[in-house]
Every structure is written in structure tokens, then in C-alpha cells.
Structure 1
């Protein structure tokens, strides 16, 4: 009982931190999308919003998030020079809940079909947390549709997280999220609010499964990759260094060419607070995506 109480307290702290994202002044709340709508993909309807003009970048949010919760601070900066396509994955936000089996492969294919719907041949893709896992899968499945890849606080295998994080994934229960900021964000836009618990159960079941997209598949990614991580964001930094090596980074650039991929560790940041560092993130992305 004490362990459950401690776990619930930890999760509540995380949810409060997530809510803090919405407390910061956000130009995205005034910046209306150029267009929004639903794309019919693989038997479901996926909601999307488009901001700005220029070369396209697709944004993939974290687990349980909406576009606003995850990207409200960053979209205005990106939209100054880019066509920003933000989507809400299966069951998230505006996108209806579906009994369709949930997998990273299916969600990555949804991105492909969304791009087809919008007549976009290729794009940069950025993913945060769970969205980063889907972004890695997209890079593996559809390399010709990808220009550059941005991974924010995410891993391509279970071992990429510290054990404390994976233990939380295994113990999550829907009741821990009751009346949380995440539920409030869901209720504000979901087409059917009664699906909240089913949505949580579906996501939590996937989160409890160990996964590994494969070292050999990551090594085959030819597109430049920018990895951004907070120094205390729950990512195993030893595994993160190995990932960067697979992407041909971690060399002595004074003795050989600078690799196309980049690794940035932002000090003093947790998993959630990293997404609040708008100036830092936008500066990294602007330099990398040029």
C-alpha cells in the first residue's frame, strides 16, 4: 500500500509538471492554424493542424498529450520559417479512440498516410518521448519520406530509459490520472470523453511491453538525426551515447569530418521541463534544420 501511495505521488508530481506547460504565456494560443482537419488513414481519422509556410516539419507528441500540451511553446517559433504539421495520434486529443491494435509500426504508417493525404513527399520529423519512438520507427520504415529527424527525450528501446522510469510504466493505472491536467486537456477536445479510461488502458498496455526497434535498424538511418535530452530526463545516458555512435556520431571531428547527426544534453532539465526550454530548443532546431 505504501509503495502504491508513493507511486501515485510521483505520478501526480509529473502531472503537475505537465500542467505547468500550459501556465506559461504562449503565442500558440493566439496563433491560429492555417488549417486543421482529419485525415482518413488506415481505418481511423487522424487530426492535424498546420501552421506557417515553408519546408514541412511533422511534430509527434508524447504519450497522453495533445498538440497544445506538447508543442504550444515551440510551434510559434517553428512557424516563422516552416510549414508545421502537428498531429494527434490514435486516441489522443481530437483523434477518436479506436479499438485498432496500437503499435509503433502502425502509428508510423499513419504519419506516412497523413503525408500522402496532404500531398507531402518528404519532411523533417520531430518527436518527443513516445512521439520520438514513433519518429524512430518512421525513419526505419519510410526512409525516403524523411529529410531530417529530431528526437527529444526518447529512446528506441526499453533499455534506453533508467530503471525507475520503466518500473513506473509497469505500475501505471488509469485511476492515477483521474482529474489530472492530462484528463482536462483530453476532455476539452476529445470527440467522445467517455473513452478516456479505454484510451489510458490501451496506452498503458503498450507502455508495459518491452520494445526494441533494433540497433541494426538505427544504424541504417541515413538521414541526419538531432538527439536532444535533459541531463536528468530519465534517459540512460550510457545508452544514449551508444545510440549516437550508431548514428555515426561521437568521433574526433578534428581528425575526421563532422558527422551529420548531433547530440545535445541540456543541463538542469527533467523530461517535462525540457519541453519548456523554448529558446534552447528552437535554437537547436533552427541550426540543425537549415
Structure 2
């Protein structure tokens, strides 16, 4: 797959990292840079490094970046606590509390985008701007076939994959890999819908970034953008505060590698 990254983007070490107590478990976070805070939420089975490693150095030049690893992911320990988007969004709020951040921009990729939508719905006062990358707020937001894949997923499909290698490198207990996968795959099999009405009530500006062939149903995406105030003729009325970017020739996985394009859209929107 074609990739595009910003030249000379060096890996940087977090200024601080640690764990925040959250709803009966603990959540790992890393903080980079100084400035207006932005919280980053990774995709399913990813670590901070896998998802955001190329983007963090760019964002951290002008902002305080708080990257979180959700329940069972990366450094965050596996928990038998029931997995739900609402609980994960509450975990994000607990990390913000711990770091004494009243409100922040929030960006989520894929599964992290679902948690970000949920955060916008349940914690609106904590949100400034929302960035959704290749994600949906309901199962019907995917094209036909994607949900069928979720239903047939089994832990053995990811055995010895780059995802497991990344997990093994940082997980506090590597023996929890299969239990973690089972927990995530069980959630993925369950149809979900955060609600058209709830999305329409999001008052924060939203930037949606999608690949043209990333698995998102573009008819549903157009409806989502309309719920957020977009899809108008801006020559006849005010330009919407929410933005939509569709990047050509990109799949779900390859989209997140387009560091230069994603950073460009995010930087302009967040300014």
C-alpha cells in the first residue's frame, strides 16, 4: 500500500506517562508537548505507537498531546469489567480529571472514533473539537460485509500478527492476549447505534476524515455530515463549522498511514 509520511518525523519520547484510576481499573496515558490539549484514541487492537507514532511528533510541536490506551490495549491491563463504549468514554474523562484538563479536542481512529463519538455525546462540556478518522457511530455506517467480518472474527486470526507483536512488547501481562481479543470481538459482534438524535445534538465542531474505500458507507457518511450541519450550499449560507475530508485511493488501514494529509486536515481544522 502506498504510504505518505512527513519527512524527518522523528520518534519522540513522552514528557510524562503513567496510569490514571478509572472506573475500577487503570488506564495508561502518555503526554507530549505543550499547548492546547488534544486527546488521541487509537483503533481496535492498536497501541499508541502503532496508531499515532508518526502523527504525535507533528501535533506535539504546538500542542499538548494526551495519547490513551483503552481497556486491555497496550500498557493498559486487561480487565474483566464489561466492555462498553460508554465506559471507555468515561475512562477518557477520568484520565482528563487526573491530568487536570477541563476540556480538550479529541481525535479517534476507527474503534477509537466510536469512543470519541460517545465521549462527545455524554461529556459535551469536556469537548472543544472532535476529529473522527475512518469511524462510525452505528453498525449501519459500514458498507455491506464489514459487519459480517466482525461476526466471523476469531482470536486465532490475529495470532503472531503485527498486532500481537506490538501487544507483547508493552502489555503488563502477555498471557491475557486471547482473553483481550475475545472481549473485543464480542463487543464488535454486537450491533450498536449511538443515535442520530444524539449525533445531531453534538455542538462541538467535527472533522470527519475518511478514505474513499475504507469500509465506511458514503451514503451514511453524507447523512452523518448533514446531522452535523454540513452538506449545504455554502455560497448561499454560512460555511458549516464541521468539515468532511475524503482522501482518495485509501483503505481503512492505509488511511492512517497518510500522515501528511491527516495532519494537514487536522491542523487547519484545529486552528
Distance 1:38 1:196 in 2: 20
| SS of equivalent to 1:176 | helix
8 A contact 1:26–1:72 mirrored in 2: no
* 1:271 equivalent in alignment to 2:252: yes
Assess, with a 3 A threshold, how the Cα gap between structure 1 residues 24 and 255 changes in structure 2: closer, same or farther.
closer
Q: After the TM superposition, which segments of 4 or more aligned residues of structure 1 sit over 2 Å from their partners?
A: 23-29
Q: Cα offset for 1:198? A: 0.1
Name structure 2 gaps, 5 residues minimum: none
8 A contact 1:47–1:95 mirrored in 2: yes
**1:175-214 to 2 correspondence within 5 Å?**
175-214=156-195
Distance 1:285 1:91 in 2: 28
| SS of equivalent to 1:56 | strand
**1:136-215 to 2 correspondence within 5 Å?**
136-215=117-196
Distance 1:163 1:116 in 2: 39
| SS of equivalent to 1:138 | helix
| Deviation readout 1:98-130 (Å, 9 max, x if unpaired) | 000000000000011110000000000000000
Distance 1:235 1:145 in 2: 27
**1:75-94 to 2 correspondence within 5 Å?**
75-94=56-75
Distance 1:211 1:195 in 2: 26
* 1:224 equivalent in alignment to 2:205: yes
TM-score after normalising by structure 1:
0.91
Distance 2:51 2:146 in 1: 19
| SS of equivalent to 1:276 | coil
TM-score after normalising by structure 2:
0.97
Assess, with a 3 A threshold, how the Cα gap between structure 1 residues 24 and 260 changes in structure 2: closer, same or farther.
closer
Identify the residue that residue 57 of structure 1 maps to in structure 2.
38
8 A contact 1:27–1:72 mirrored in 2: no
| SS of equivalent to 1:126 | strand
- 1:235 pairs with one of 216, 224, 229: 216
- In the alignment of these two chains, the number of paired residues is 270
Assess, with a 3 A threshold, how the Cα gap between structure 1 residues 170 and 24 changes in structure 2: closer, same or farther.
farther
Distance 1:253 1:27 in 2: 36
8 A contact 1:97–1:199 mirrored in 2: yes
| SS of equivalent to 1:272 | helix
| SS of equivalent to 1:240 | helix
| Deviation readout 1:163-210 (Å, 9 max, x if unpaired) | 221110000000001111000000000000000000000000000000
Structure with more of its chain in helix, by fraction: 1
Identify the residue that residue 3 of structure 1 maps to in structure 2.
none
Distance 1:68 1:227 in 2: 22
| Deviation readout 1:36-79 (Å, 9 max, x if unpaired) | 00011111110000011100000000000000000011101100
